Amino acid sequence: MRREASILHLDLDAFFAAVEQRDKPSLRGRPVVVGGVGGRGVVATASYEARAYGARSAMATAEARRRCPPGTAFLGGRFGAYRRTSDVVMELLRELSPLVEPASLDEAYVDLAVTSPGHPGHDLSVDGVTELGRRLKERIAEATGGVTGSVGIGSSKLMAKIGSDLDKPDGLVVVPPGSELDVLHPLPVTRLGGVGPATAERLHQVGVRTVADLAAKSLSDLVALAGRAHGTGLYALARAEDDRPVVAERGAKSVSQEETFERDLTDVAVLGREIDAMAARVAGRLRGSAYSGRTVTLKLRRYDFTTLTRSQTLPHPTDDARVIASIARRLLAETGTQGGLRLLGVGVSGLSLYAQGDLFAADDDPELPDDEPAPAEAPEAAPEPPAPVSRWWPGQDVCHDELGSGWVWGRGLGRVTVRFEGPLTAPGPVRTLPADDPALHPAEPPEWRSATIDAVEATGD
């Protein structure tokens, strides 16, 4: 740990949903769920209004639909809009320090102690970094059109990230040097990185529910419980011991998730469900960091501790949980579960920045939105042409030659429903159009800043 609170962690609040609410004024203050909109889709982000009904990241979209009220907006992702907004935020962070470590589109660490000719240094007193955090939050909200972020500042990456999570949304927490354990120990043990559901369950079984409970365990106890590497890491984190540096321009090579089981498993159905869950988490992390990958890898450790890996390389990169799970399940079937498995892991490598396309799973069962009735004149038995189904998706930016710019609210029965509005307009009218209307076109994400603001920034006035 450092002597000063000189590491800052920024976590943008419900980022994907916040960008959607900024760009779609009719959704402000309403529940919004962003992710896969099909029957097997997974939630990427839920707005705070949707979270009040129990929707959350990594939940099946079908479950989120059951929990959220009619009129909730279920939208596919718009990578271009998220990337543009993220770039603005990351540039503001680089004005604070040359050492910025993006963890995903909506999350980054900043080393405030680094100096350079363009960064002469900051006041690293508690008051100084508190004021710096306050100004940063104001600048982010202004530059992004109202997207908010929570800031944590501490003497390590651990404490900075803990701080950013303590007062969400739109929070600011500085952990003064010397107070780390006072802040850390009352927290649930699940607040520590690396304590997922399986590890948490094992810890709960031995009476560990808070970080203070964890700190009371000996190193040998934790190694016996979680293995040497993981147990040693937990032992250090429970004591706020974290000397990881902020590393700029990280080159991620793979994203993976693995699980060690309490007992050896042979049931293919149970292992398949584990694969589905891990694939969903891997896909969520890929999307959150704007990556996709070509190679899917299955890792398994047998009852005799023999470890095997099997991989398949795709012709095109993917971040689709369904594709990842399907390949991993096939690799498992080919490898077999003889004797039982102690560990199972799913990973994706061969990463590249995502190219706009099927960012989230396509809708398996296209339908009009809950509050937009199907047109009465729609034919009952006419088959849906394939082209319109794949052309439009909920949340997509569009432009109509006569009606102007808007976004897709829903589609189905050969129709597409569009709300004509944008980030700089009032809530706009809704029109239902033929899905093959030649005047309707896909569009780029809208600009959220007025021309006047852009002109002032360009001239420096």
Per DSSP, the residues of 43-87 read EEEE-HHHHTTT--TTSBHHHHHHHSPTT-EEE---HHHHHHHHH
Instruction: List the single range of 43-57, 242-256, 386-400, 447-461 with lowest mean pLDDT.
Output: 447-461
Q: Rounded to an integer, what is the distance from CA 228 to the centroid of its chain?
A: 30
What's the CATH code, domain 366-461?
A: 2.30.30
Of 425, 387, 388, 374, residue with least CA distance to 404:
425
pTM: 0.73
Q: Residue 72's pLDDT is what?
A: 95
Give the pLDDT band of residue 303 (cuts 50, 70, 90). low
Convert the pLDDT of each residue in 280-299 to its tens digit: 999 988 877 778 888 999 99
Greater confidence (192 vs 172) lies with 172
Measure the CA–CA gap between 461 and 455, rounded to whole angstroms: 9
CA 356 to the chain's CA centroid: 17
Q: Report the distance separating Cα 413 and Cα 432, nearest Å.
A: 11
Q: Which superfamily is assigned to 1-176 in CATH?
A: Reverse transcriptase/Diguanylate cyclase domain (3.30.70.270)
Q: What's the mean per-residue pLDDT of the chain? A: 85
- What's the pLDDT band for 14 if we cut at 50, 70, 90? very high
ω into residue 169 within 30 of 0, thus cis? yes
Please give the positions annotated as active site. 107
Give residue 254's pLDDT band: very low, low, confident or very high (50, 70, 90).
confident
**How large is the average pLDDT for residues 111-135?**
90
**CATH 3.90.1150.10 holds for 254-353:** no
Do 132 and 84 contact (CB within 8 A), yes or no? no
49, 30 contact by CB (below 8 A): yes
Is pLDDT at 86 greater than 80 in this prediction?
Answer: yes
Between 46-55, 263-272, 412-421, the lowest mean confidence (pLDDT) is in 263-272
The edge-to-edge listing of strands for the beta sheet with 291-302 is: 254-265, 341-353, 291-302, 307-318
Q: State the pLDDT at residue 280.
A: 92
pLDDT at 454: 47
Confidence of residue 368 (pLDDT cuts 50, 70, 90): very low
Per-residue pLDDT, averaged over 17-21, amounts to 97
Which strand ranges, in their side-by-side order, compose the sheet holding 430-434? 430-434, 415-419, 404-412, 397-400, 440-442
Top CATH class of 193-237 equals mainly alpha
Q: What is the pLDDT of residue 353?
A: 63
- The mean per-residue pLDDT over the stretch 100-126 comes to 88
Q: Can you give the residue ranges of every domain in the chain?
A: 1-176, 193-237, 254-353, 366-461
